[in-house]
Amino acid sequence: MTHTLTTLTATAARAGLLALAATLLVVCAVPAQAAAGRATSSDWLLLTVSRGDARSGATRTALLLCDPPRGHARAARACAELDATDGRIADLPPRDAYCPMIYAPVTAHARGQWRGRPVEYTRTFPSPCVMAARTGAVFALDGLDGLHGSAAQG
């Protein structure tokens, strides 16, 4: 009878240790998943829009972060647009817009990282309206009223 109680006690102890080990694995896995989720929050883009070339005109700058979206007035929309193209600004789909044929060049520049990959983008557009049509909300920075013409979207 003593032998049976000892066997039952040893079996119960093993089961308890297995349950404890399983609990520790689950508890340790949750912070690891949370840390993996935070890795995307290190994605950032330093956005600059300059009238003319960067040396001679008015310049606006913003730091776009997407977890949570912040950095400028249309950050949530900009982050969604960048997610759709995996962070490739040049791949943003152009919007239909009616832009006046007035040459007022603006240069858009983005530097940073998206999903661990470096991002470097620079392009000069013939007008702020064309820039808005080609880059969506990404370069829609606050204080660009003096830089942007209005774009009637179709």
139 in Cβ contact with 108 (< 8 Å): yes
pLDDT at 58: 84
Query: What's residue 142's pLDDT?
Result: 77
This model's pTM is above 0.85: no
Spans in the chain with pLDDT lower than 70: 1-41, 53-57, 143-154
| Alpha carbon separation from 119 to 1, 27, 73, 113, 147 (Å, rounded) | 73, 36, 21, 5, 24
Which residue(s) pair with 125 in the sheet?
106
- Predicted confidence at residue 5, as pLDDT, reads 46
